[in-house]
């Protein structure tokens, strides 16, 4: 077995064993456990707390077309507890959802603060939903995003410097990423 084939085999075994793909902007950040509803997650340079973007479903399991995304924190720096985003946090890290195909129940998503990159939420051939974004001019399933911010002396983010998108290429299944200067 060639070296690259061995690396691919070990990577696939890791993904199967852990249940998630280790795509982080920072090596020392936790990777949230992948669930059936998790579409992607966002981490920031401010701290290791992570924002999760889940598919929001109704009691019958169908997508909630009025509010297709559920957003919450995993507060790793507070013992890993879940928490809702505050009003102000939602203004920055929330997403706007616009239905683009009622029959297929597909949506365009934009981060409320960063709207230079569209994310498409659509159903796959297998019937599950995925978030797709263009990374380096290539369509990819979005796995995570990372925001680098400049903080004041109190540690409060003043401005965003860049955002990185990490995903899996639809063309070849490879992990890809792109840094966008803000």
Model pTM score: 0.83
138 found inside a domain: yes
94 found inside a domain: yes
89 found inside a domain: yes
Question: Could you tell me which residues are beta bridge partners of residue 162?
Answer: 148, 181
70 found inside a domain: yes
Q: How confident is the model at residue 94 (pLDDT cuts 50, 70, 90)?
A: very high
For 72-85, the pLDDT digits (tens) are 999 999 999 999 99
29 found inside a domain: yes
At 29, list the tokens. 């950040």
In this structure, the number of other CB atoms found within 10 A of the CB of residue 67 comes to: 9
57 found inside a domain: yes
Element (H, E) at 107: strand 106-111
19 found inside a domain: no
For 20-33, the pLDDT digits (tens) are 444 444 678 999 99
12 found inside a domain: no
Domain count, the chain: 1
* Residue 85: domain span: 25-181
Q: How confident is the model at residue 1 (pLDDT cuts 50, 70, 90)?
A: very low
């Amino acid at each position: 077995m060639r070296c690259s084939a061995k690396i691919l085999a070990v990577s696939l075994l890791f993904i199967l064993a852990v249940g998630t793909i280790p795509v982080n902007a920072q090596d020392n950040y936790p990777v949230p456990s992948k669930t059936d509803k998790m579409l992607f997650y966002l981490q920031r340079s401010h701290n290791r707390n992570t924002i999760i973007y889940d598919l929001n479903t109704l009691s019958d399991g169908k997508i909630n077309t009025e509010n297709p995304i559920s957003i919450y924190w995993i507060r790793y720096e507070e013992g890993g507890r879940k928490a809702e985003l505050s009003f102000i946090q939602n203004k920055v890290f929330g997403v706007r959802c616009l239905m683009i195909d009622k029959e297929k129940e597909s949506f365009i998503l934009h981060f409320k603060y960063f709207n230079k990159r569209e994310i498409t939420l659509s159903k796959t051939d297998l019937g599950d939903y995925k978030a797709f974004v263009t990374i380096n001019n290539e369509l990819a399933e979005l796995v995570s995003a990372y925001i680098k911010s400049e903080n004041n002396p109190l540690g409060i983010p003043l401005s965003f410097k860049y955002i990185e998108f990490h995903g899996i290429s639809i063309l070849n299944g490879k992990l890809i990423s792109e840094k966008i200067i803000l």
